Amino acid sequence: MPLETRSGLRYLRAMHSITLPRPDDWHLHLRDGAMLKAVLPESARHFARAIIMPNLVPPVVTLDDAVAYRDRILAALPGGMAFEPLMTLYLTEGTDRADVERAAASGLVKAVKLYPAGATTNSHSGVRDLTKVMPVLEVMARIGLPLCTHGEVTDSHVDIFDREAVFIDTVLDPLRRRLPELRVVMEHITTEEGVAYAAGGGANLAATITTHHLIINRNHILAGGIKPHYYCLPVAKREKHRLALRKAATSGLPRYFLGTDSAPHVDALKEHACGCAGCFTATNTMSLLAHVFEEEGALDRLEGFVSHHGPAFYGLPVNQGTITLEKRPEPCAWPEKIHAEPGPVTVFQPGFPVHWHVVT
């Protein structure tokens, strides 16, 4: 059976098998308490590391908060599983720049997260006036600590489907012109505009792309009735944007890498008159990505997207372990729900059969 090697990817054509360095998730929500305990194994099963979102209640604002949250994550990790949480701080208008510098020097905190106030789940403590956090951003630019952005404006007069493009024009681009040394990750981009801006942004700019935004567009949420388990923020956009994301993710360009934004909410809060935003994809992301990359004729570029590009941007080594996927005649069967003490969490369902199984 012929074995081809392409950029380190081992691809056994006759067996439809791919082996990759163990991947990382560069945008993950683990929550806390009982929910953390329920969902953490779903990520640790396949991913070696993840950038952990800090939007708890109360948020992870200081180095001490990050240390305590990291310890709770590791305490919830089942025996026999290896997983490294890469911690972030939640940027507020009261963030202490000296504490941010200490956090970066500790090696524990890998980034600071910008949430425009009111943009998404637990973002009410976020930034309303960017000028008030400029001293912190200047320190981050000087020491090379990345800023991860939830890239949407929250102005009520801006259409929800335009919020990412307006954020790029009115917030992100002016900020990067003022602080060109600042390293920025455009998290969970969803538009042609996001793809294009990231493509031309230079070495200090990268973008993460989620699994679900490669699969769904806004019709999946709204056509034929509201589908609450496809509702996420940033909301899925038109089909042309989904196709642009697919082209970017499978391009092989190092500025794009995986950030699942896997976000668990109990069904009672998703299936609600004012339902929570988020898709829970930790369980089946690797199978779904193999399917998408195969559809795009780019299986040889999956390794870069999930295993190489993120570590390169964050200055970390590629993981030593491996993960193997096999394409089998029978479709994958993953659980419909993850059962947590607070209530069931629905696993993202793509709406089509997936034949790529994670086997090791």
What residues are labeled active site?
261
Task: Give the whole-angstrom CA distance, residue 9 versus residue 219.
Answer: 35
CA quadruple 15, 303, 229, 125: dihedral, nearest 10 = 160
The single-letter code of the amino acid at 302 is: L
Q: Are 15 and 326 in contact (CB under 8 A)?
A: yes
Give the three-state DSSP class for 151: coil
The single-letter code of the amino acid at 240 is: K
- For 199, residues 6+ apart whose C-beta sits below 8 A from its C-beta are 248, 253, 255
> Residue 112's closest CA among 187, 54, 72, 29?
54
Give the three-state DSSP class for 11: strand
**Token pair 């009520």 in the structure block, residue:** 156
Q: Are 279 and 229 in contact (CB under 8 A)?
A: yes
CA 231 to the chain's CA centroid: 16
CA 25 to the chain's CA centroid: 6
Task: Give the whole-angstrom CA distance, residue 35 versus residue 272.
Answer: 19
The single-letter code of the amino acid at 210 is: T
Task: Give the whole-angstrom CA distance, residue 324 versus residue 330.
Answer: 17
Q: How far apart are the first and last CA of the chain?
A: 20
Q: Is the peptide bond before 59 cis (omega within 30 degrees of 0)?
A: no
> Residue 136's closest CA among 72, 88, 182?
182
CB neighbours of residue 213 within 10 Å: 24
Bridging pattern class, strands 356-358 and 24-28? unpaired
